[in-house]
Structure 1
Amino acid sequence: MTCSYVTLWDLETGKNIATIKTNSSVRTCNFSYSAYQAAYTTDKAMGHPCEVFIIDTRTIDESMSTQSPILKWEITDSKVTSMVWGTLDETIITGHEAGDLIQWDLRTGKKVHSIKEHTHQINDMQLSRDGTMFITASKDQSAKLFDTSSLELLKEYKTERPVNSAALSPILDHVVLGGGQDAMEVTTTSTRQGKFDARFFHLVFEEEFGRVKGHFGPINSLAFHPDGKSYASGGEDGYVRVQSFDQSYFDYTFDYNRE
């Protein structure tokens, strides 16, 4: 019998603080900005619906394993595949298998707003450093930048392959995208053709200005270091690569006048 759960870890010691059992696989989880709450979602499986759970994390000990959630609700739309917290810990925004983005009111668990700017599954969502914007990565071969409060579409970054992850630089107007073909479609020529490169775009002008090779399979996750001087990528090849930027990266000036 498969056991599904959410686990809370102490980063300094690696100790397992609490484990919350769930009825089906956990697809997403995230702390609120204040870290007083956390949210996680479960898949529709084994006769159980896709659900969103909000838990209190102010008292972090083994009692969390048996506490009831502050709030939970069932998802009747397509299943949740990604999620971020909205502003002031008052909302969460979920990305869905069908490409929808939905904003939820955490006082009631009711839908506030929804849009559909992607045509396929949203694989990843990450907030900007100040939380005013977030970026999505989708199987429709694009990443898109949205306003966190209004869900207004701000920018779009297009590629020729599914995008599995996208991250925003905390110090520069840069976006990094990663992805690649599904594992069953990968060929020996894919690496040579640059299908697994991390690709850098200008946040405002939406143009690609650089690529970094390294993985031998699709990139599944990306994250900038908080100081903006490096980034990490996790790939289907089983490796996590940490790349530090050299000075030329910081000296680079985007040509605003090129056509």
Structure 2
Amino acid sequence: MKPIILQGHERSLTQIVFNAEGDLLFTASKDKIVNAWYTSNGERLGTYNGHNGSVWTVACDSQTRYLLTGAADSTMKLWEVSTGKCLKTWEFLTAVTRVAWSEDDEMALCITEQRTGQPSVIRTFAINLADPAASSSTPLKEIILSGSKATCALWAPLSEHILTGHESGKIAKYDAKTGEEVNAVHESHRANITDIQLSPDGTYFITSSKDKTARIFDSDTLEEMKVFATETPLNSACITPLRPYIILGGGQDAMNVTTTSSRAGKFESRFWHKLFEEEVGRVKGHFGPINTLACHPQGRAYASGAEDGFVRVHWFDESYFRSRPFGDLEPEVEV
């Protein structure tokens, strides 16, 4: 499983996402730019320049027409994928830490940071697909969070609810129209939730946390279904289509990386069996903590972005798809 290494960022990666077809990968970084890449060969398609601070988050719509980004310059921007043109900018009082598209691409959400006396706020906006530049600057709904700030969020299936992960470890579900909290789980994670990603069918989702665990929850009831305990803080987790695996990524905090070997820092991508809750393999390669993971929509590959500034795209070998419960993954996969 030889990786394609993407070298287009000067600073650490913050979020990477595939488009719906899986032929493009979008990467956001602290170096203020967003890159688009062909996943088949690692060629850079283009760059989206316009933010004046670290770009924390990126999301692509289902048709690969438009891109949403959020950054430390307190703006959310809407881009045309094919031309790189910025079509719309929303300005806020604090940094935008997460953006996401609704299922039908007609709404977008963003999370703004809790800072300088400003609360953490989840906002939803209507997107005019016929003329995106004419999209309203006034949010459809503002959900002002009085307790722990939200660190990540996504739309639940049918886009009637919003699922959020919080700094305290709380998982919550909000009504997208009324803004009311309809359900919450406080007892599962014990530390900051770093990522939240849906399963391919949307019926469950996975979270990663600094408490060194990843957990799977039911999208409807928020019932905790599975727990994956590791020995390192986790920054991202994703669910693989086709095969019964999840992939976890993290590692020792960046401030301590220079004094630690890559092996001791635990910078591998970790494969766990989704049902048996057992680790089945690791993929090495990064020289810093893995900050973000994404799975190919058809389950043919996965990508990882790390503190070292590199993105690695791994296309799975044929052995991965064999019918045995664990495929041919070994306890240690050398790359």
Which letter does structure 2 place at the counterpart of 1:26? Answer: V
In 1: Cα distance, 2:101 partner to 2:305 partner: 21
Return the match for 1:36 from 106, 125, 128. Answer: 106
Where 1:45 maps in the other structure, the secondary structure is coil
In structure 2, stretches of 5+ residues that fail to align are 1-51, 53-71, 327-335
- 1:201 and 1:3, CA in 2 relative to 1: closer, same or farther beyond 3 A? closer
Aligned equivalents of 1:32, 1:45: Cα separation in 2: 27
For 2:128 and 2:274, the matched residues in 1 are separated by 36
CA contact (8 A) 1:135 1:145 kept: yes
Among 39, 50, 74, the alignment partner of 1:4 is 74
Structure with the bigger RCO (C-alpha within 8 Å, sep 6+) is 2
Work out whether residues 174 and 181 of structure 2, in 8 Å CA contact, stay in contact via their aligned partners in 1.
yes
1:103 paired to 2:199: no
Secondary structure, counterpart of 1:192 in structure 2? helix
Aligned partner letter, 2:206: I
Query: Measured at CA, do residues 81 and 228 of structure 1 come closer, stay the same or move farther in structure 2, by a change above 3 Å?
Result: same
Counterparts of 1:171-250 in structure 2 under 5 Å? 171-193=242-264, 195-250=266-321
Amino acid at match of 1:206: E
Q: Answer with 10-19 or 121-130: which moved more.
A: 10-19
> Normalising by structure 2, what TM-score?
0.73
Match 1:151 to one of 222, 235, 248: 222
- Structure 2 contact 98–110 (Cα < 8 Å) conserved: yes
- Aligned letter for 1:98? S
Task: Render the CA deviation track for 1:19-41: whole Å, top value 9, x for unaligned.
Answer: 11111001111011111111111
Aligned to 1:25: 95
Aligned partners of 1:242, 1:158: CA distance in 2, in Å? 25
Q: Displacement, 1:163? A: 0.6
- 2:302–2:315 Cα contact (<8 Å) kept: yes
What secondary structure is seen at the aligned counterpart in 2 of 1:126? strand
Contact 2:206–2:215 (8 Å) recurs in 1: yes
* Count, aligned residues: 254
Q: Residues 18-75 of structure 1, C-alpha deviation per residue, up to 9 Å, x if partnerless?
A: 11111100111101111111111101112221111010013442223x5201111210
Correspondence 1:55 to 2:125: yes
Alignment of 1:55-74 (within 5 A): 55-59=125-129, 60-64=131-135, 67-74=137-144
State yes or no: 1:45 paired with 2:130.
Answer: no
Write out the 4+ residue segments of structure 1 that deviate beyond 3 Å after TM superposition.
187-190
In structure 1, the residue matched to 2:151 is: 81
Question: Could you tell me whether the CA contact under 8 Å between 2:252 and 2:265 is conserved in 1?
Answer: no
Distance 2:216 2:310 in 1: 28
Stretch of structure 1 that moved more, 130-139 or 241-250: 241-250
Q: TM-score, normalised by structure 1?
A: 0.93
Q: Percent identity?
A: 44
